[in-house]
Structure 1
Amino acid sequence: MPLTVRDLLAIPALRLQLAAGAAGLGRTVEAAHASEATDPSAWLEGGEVVMTTGLLLGPGSDDLAAFIGDLDRAGAAALVLGLGPSLPHQQVPPALARAADRHGLPLVTVPERTSPAAVTKAVFDARSAEERRLLERTLRTQRRLTAAAASPDGLADLLTAWYRATGLAVVVCDVLARPLGAAGADAAEVLADAATVLDAVALRGLRGSGGGELPSGPVHAQPLGAARLRGFVVLVGASTAETRLLGSVLVSLLSVELERRHLAEEPRRRHRTTVLSRLFAADLSASRATALLSSVNLSAGPLRALAVHVAARADPPPGTGRPSEAAETAADLALAIPGGLARAVGTTVEAVVPEGTDALALLARFAPGRPAGIGPAVAPQHAALSLRQAHALLPASTQAGRPVTAAEAGSVRLLLSLGSPALLAAFADTALAALDAADPDHELTETLRVWLETNGSWAETSALLGLHRHTVQNRIAKIGRLTGRHMDRAEDRIDLWLALRAREAAGS
């Protein structure tokens, strides 16, 4: 237990006496500090016993009240006032005592024969003894936690041992916030409350932690894993010095346990890789595709293939036995993909997902910033076709800086998004500059846009713009003269339409 003012008063050799401020006897003592300054609060960090003879204390009630108020706001644990025939005070000033009672700051007297050094030494000895007891308790608890982690049901026994030793509820989950174990709390409830905290921690991978005050109580979340994020541990309740010391031990043991589980899943990952390889065969029959999907508990519905390029720069040196970045990314995706069908082929990750899966969300979570192609939804026996299209989209994804889907592969918007804003603006200005100069109110430009989008229909353009047919015809003829284009020629129409689209894509 931490040293308090009450504990300090109980040390007989110091001969300390409480004069006022009994409400603060439970304040924690961190250090002792002797000062004759009129305002020592600027030198305090909190938890100090401030010792003074009161040599420079003002005689007025307001001065004494302000002195006590400053100490209280600075977090002082107590004020120790020396009394004696050769000291400035032989008794406690009543105004000082009243202020101490008002603030709940213990005012303690010490006789002249007790030196400040004796008080400082007593505080230091008591703090050292407490830290030694804390370390001994921590070491004993650490040994119990380590023994629990080595038991047959390592995760459950470890969490139970932690809760019994610290009183802090604990929940462990995987990277998708799916519960793996808990002690002292309802895992689903805690994880639901802590969802935003876990999302924030996940963004920093293994480099950060987070916490907050939630309906289930104060929580603190930390990432788990050796070289890669494998899950999270969430502690529920107010931490103590002991639990803060033990927290790193718990995180280390849990990280080892999750890495062990990851390695234990390797045979299943190899099986799913084999299934995926067979599913990507070019001559696959419908019945064979159905059987392959059934082996990983998937129905024979439409599938989409994913192709993700993973840079090789972070790969381990050959011969180290560590998996490549692509293999780790494939394992991460397999956690979230129904059926877990993902594999690494060189520096590319290939996977298939059921048609209703939010592939963009999966990639944003497990392959952020990676070039990725998303193939079309096909019958399972045609998965190889979807994969080829996913691979074909990788160059466009690299240039666009985002995943690209097969649905937008032929889109003009995608093609335009691959150009720089300056290039698009230059193209649009070249085609439309003369029109811009003669059309400050953009009437001609809007007429051109509607006319092109209605495939040159005079009647439909007139109806949409509320103009007479002859007005539309006159405007289109004027546009042709201004731009030097033949409005009845497909090539010129396409140029003007692309110029309008390029301007939209460039944001101008």
Structure 2
Amino acid sequence: MPLTVADLLALRDLRLTLIAGEGGRDRVIEAAHVSELARPGEWLHGGELLMTAGVVLPTDRRSCRGFVGDVVEGGAAALAFGVGHGQPHREPPRELVAAAEAAGLPLLVVPDEVPFIAVTKAVFAALAAEDRRALEHTVDVQRRLTVAATSGGGLNAILKVWLHATGRAAVVTDLLGRELVAVGESAPALLAAGRTVLDEVGGRGLLGSASVAVNGLTVAVRPIGARRLRGHVLLARPPQPQPGTLDAALVSLLTLELERRHLADEPRRRAGAEALARLLDGLPDDKAESLLDTFRLASPSVRGLAVVAGVGEADDLAADLALVLPGGLVRWSEDTVEALVVDEVDVIALLDRFAPQRPAGVGAALRPGSAAVSLRQARALLATSARLGRPAEAGEHSPSRLLLTLGPPELLASFADTVLAPVDAADQRGQLLATLRAWLDANSAWDVTAQRLGVHRHTVRNRIDRIEQLTGRTLTTASARYELWLALEARDALAYVETGRVGAPDSSPRPH
């Protein structure tokens, strides 16, 4: 326990007496300091027992209040006043006693026969004894935690010892913030508070840690893992300061346990990779669904996922995805990780967490028997994702536009401008291009186009005639229509690459 004013008063050899600030008996003393300055506050760090004989202290009310106020502002735990023969004062000045009482500052009287150095030695001897007890306690807790870690009881055994030894609630979570083990009555509140920062902290990997206060509960969030993040431990702040080595010891042992789990999980990951290979080789729907059932996946459709990992990271990324994805159907080869995901998985959020800024493709949702098709789509989208700088999903844009994104942007722009520049020059409001897009999408049907644009069919005809005159192309031929359509698609692809939107502003229908 830390040294308090009451503990110091209990040391009989010092014969100290408390004459003011009775309510401060529980104040913690962290050091002892002697000063005869009129304003010693700026030299204090906080928590000191400040000793003085009042050599330069005036005894009037204003001066005593100013002195006590300065000591309190400096953070002193208590004030000790030396009196007796050879001292400036035979007893503490009454105004000093009154000022200390008014400020709630414990005021101790040091008798003549007790030198300040004796008080100083006693304080530091008590502090050294407390440090020794804290060290012994830390060593004992570390030993008990180590015994628990080697007992085969896993995370639960380690945290039970932790709670018994420290009284602090703790929660261990996996990579997605899901609870693995929890101890202590405040564990549910601990997890709720920690989840407010887990996503942000997890995004920084093993370098991510935080301390958050929610509803009066302070929670420390620490990463667990050796070379790669495996989870987090959430710890309640101790009621009294404790050596940081205790938290570090717990994190180290939890890391060993989660790494052991990771290695023990290798057969399951291998089984998932083999099952994925069987699905990709081609299985009838009934057999594919039966295979998914063995991995506890009951979904009418699956999506292929392909990710290009960083150099030397494919194995670890595959292991992370196998842990967090339902079923764990994941495999890797060279620098590419492939997986099957079910509909309820937020793939984009998953990639943002585990493979940020990495090229990734997501195939269409298809029947389990067509998993190979979806995964081929995902692999084909990797080049597009690399150019876009974000994951590319099948179905979010047309296949033709997907192919166009693979071409150099300057080439697309040159082609589109060559075909559409005459229309751009004469069509400041963009009505001609909007009409052309709607007409082509309607398979050249006049009435359908007019209805979609909200104009008369003759207006549509007039605009298409105008486009023919400007471009020199006869739109009754399929080749001319295709060329104009391809130019519009090229502009849409450019807009998609630059802004992530499908559809360029100047080629979309406008209200009329």
Please classify the TM superposition score into its range, dividing by the shorter chain length: 0.7 to 0.9
Partner of 1:301: 300
Structure 1 segments unaligned to the other structure (5+ residues): 316-324
Partner of 1:348: 336
| Structure 2 CA distance for aligned equivalents of residues 411 and 474 of structure 1 | 31
Q: 1:304-348 CA deviation, whole Å, 9 max, x = no partner? A: 111111122xx3xxxxxxxxx211111111112111111121211
| Structure 2 CA distance for aligned equivalents of residues 500 and 394 of structure 1 | 19
User: What SS does the aligned partner of 2:110 have?
Assistant: strand
Q: CA deviation at 1:135?
A: 1.0
Q: CA deviation at 1:28?
A: 0.7
Contact 1:476 1:487 survives alignment (8 Å): no
Contact 2:54 2:81 survives alignment (8 Å): yes
**Match of 1:286, as an amino acid?**
D
Matched, 1:453 2:452: no
CA separation of 1:478/1:279 partners in 2, compared to 1, >3 Å: closer, same or farther? closer
CA separation of 1:201/1:229 partners in 2, compared to 1, >3 Å: closer, same or farther? same
- Counterpart among 338, 357, 360 of residue 369 in structure 1: 357
Partner of 1:339: 327
Contact 2:401 2:489 survives alignment (8 Å): no
Partner of 1:319: none
Matched, 1:224 2:244: no
Contact 2:83 2:90 survives alignment (8 Å): yes
Structure 2 segments unaligned to the other structure (5+ residues): 500-504, 506-512
Contact 2:59 2:96 survives alignment (8 Å): no
Partner of 1:380: 368
CA separation of 1:452/1:102 partners in 2, compared to 1, >3 Å: closer, same or farther? farther
User: What SS does the aligned partner of 2:296 have?
Assistant: coil
**Match of 1:387, as an amino acid?**
L
User: What SS does the aligned partner of 1:90 have?
Assistant: coil
CA separation of 1:274/1:471 partners in 2, compared to 1, >3 Å: closer, same or farther? closer
| Structure 2 CA distance for aligned equivalents of residues 14 and 6 of structure 1 | 13
Q: CA deviation at 1:4?
A: 0.9
**Match of 2:436, as an amino acid?**
L
CA separation of 1:128/1:418 partners in 2, compared to 1, >3 Å: closer, same or farther? farther
User: What SS does the aligned partner of 1:384 have?
Assistant: helix
Root mean square deviation of aligned Cα:
3.4
Partner of 1:254: 254
Partner of 1:100: 100
| Structure 2 CA distance for aligned equivalents of residues 465 and 305 of structure 1 | 38
**Match of 1:94, as an amino acid?**
R
Contact 2:190 2:235 survives alignment (8 Å): no
How do 1:102-117 residues align onto structure 2 when only pairs under 5 Å count?
102-117=102-117
CA separation of 1:366/1:7 partners in 2, compared to 1, >3 Å: closer, same or farther? same
Contact 1:435 1:445 survives alignment (8 Å): no
| Structure 1 CA distance for aligned equivalents of residues 407 and 56 of structure 2 | 76
| Structure 2 CA distance for aligned equivalents of residues 505 and 357 of structure 1 | 26
Which of 64-73 and 488-497 deviates more?
488-497
Which of 392-401 and 186-195 deviates more?
186-195
Partner of 1:10: 10
Contact 2:65 2:96 survives alignment (8 Å): yes
Partner of 2:276: 276
CA separation of 1:154/1:32 partners in 2, compared to 1, >3 Å: closer, same or farther? same
| Structure 2 CA distance for aligned equivalents of residues 337 and 189 of structure 1 | 27
**Match of 2:152, as an amino acid?**
P
Matched, 1:400 2:388: yes
Which of 26-35 and 179-188 deviates more?
179-188
Q: CA deviation at 1:495?
A: 3.7
Contact 1:485 1:492 survives alignment (8 Å): no
Q: CA deviation at 1:221?
A: 2.1
Q: 1:197-240 CA deviation, whole Å, 9 max, x = no partner? A: 32232122222322323358332221212222112222235353
**Match of 1:297, as an amino acid?**
R
Partner of 1:320: none
User: What SS does the aligned partner of 1:445 have?
Assistant: coil
User: What SS does the aligned partner of 2:41 have?
Assistant: helix
State TM-score, norm by structure 1: 0.84
| Structure 1 CA distance for aligned equivalents of residues 460 and 284 of structure 2 | 57
User: What SS does the aligned partner of 1:245 have?
Assistant: helix
Contact 2:439 2:446 survives alignment (8 Å): no
Contact 1:8 1:123 survives alignment (8 Å): yes
Q: 1:156-215 CA deviation, whole Å, 9 max, x = no partner? A: 222211111111122222222222222223755542342113223212222232232335
Which of 466-475 and 64-73 deviates more?
466-475
Partner of 2:508: none
User: What SS does the aligned partner of 1:334 have?
Assistant: helix
**Match of 1:198, as an amino acid?**
L
Contact 1:224 1:255 survives alignment (8 Å): yes
Q: 1:103-155 CA deviation, whole Å, 9 max, x = no partner? A: 21111222344333222222111100110011112212222222122223232
User: What SS does the aligned partner of 1:408 have?
Assistant: coil
CA separation of 1:380/1:425 partners in 2, compared to 1, >3 Å: closer, same or farther? closer
Which of 347-356 and 205-214 deviates more?
205-214
Percent identity reads 48
| Structure 2 CA distance for aligned equivalents of residues 233 and 331 of structure 1 | 20
Contact 2:437 2:485 survives alignment (8 Å): no
Contact 2:19 2:97 survives alignment (8 Å): yes
User: What SS does the aligned partner of 1:280 have?
Assistant: helix
Q: CA deviation at 1:3?
A: 0.6
CA separation of 1:85/1:424 partners in 2, compared to 1, >3 Å: closer, same or farther? farther
Q: CA deviation at 1:96?
A: 1.9
User: What SS does the aligned partner of 1:307 have?
Assistant: strand
User: What SS does the aligned partner of 1:42 have?
Assistant: helix
How do 1:48-127 residues align onto structure 2 when only pairs under 5 Å count?
48-127=48-127
Partner of 1:318: none
| Structure 1 CA distance for aligned equivalents of residues 276 and 24 of structure 2 | 69
| Structure 2 CA distance for aligned equivalents of residues 258 and 228 of structure 1 | 11
Q: CA deviation at 1:492?
A: 4.9
| Structure 1 CA distance for aligned equivalents of residues 254 and 341 of structure 2 | 31
User: What SS does the aligned partner of 1:105 have?
Assistant: coil
User: What SS does the aligned partner of 1:32 have?
Assistant: strand
CA separation of 1:112/1:434 partners in 2, compared to 1, >3 Å: closer, same or farther? farther
User: What SS does the aligned partner of 2:145 have?
Assistant: helix
User: What SS does the aligned partner of 2:37 have?
Assistant: coil
Contact 1:424 1:503 survives alignment (8 Å): no
CA separation of 1:58/1:458 partners in 2, compared to 1, >3 Å: closer, same or farther? farther
**Match of 1:308, as an amino acid?**
V
Which of 99-108 and 56-65 deviates more?
56-65
| Structure 2 CA distance for aligned equivalents of residues 146 and 380 of structure 1 | 47
Q: CA deviation at 1:412?
A: 7.0
Contact 2:33 2:120 survives alignment (8 Å): yes
| Structure 2 CA distance for aligned equivalents of residues 91 and 386 of structure 1 | 91
Partner of 1:290: 289
**Match of 2:322, as an amino acid?**
A
Matched, 1:390 2:378: yes
User: What SS does the aligned partner of 1:407 have?
Assistant: coil
Q: CA deviation at 1:372?
A: 1.0
| Structure 2 CA distance for aligned equivalents of residues 420 and 64 of structure 1 | 81
Which of 82-91 and 41-50 deviates more?
82-91
Contact 1:54 1:81 survives alignment (8 Å): yes
Partner of 2:502: none
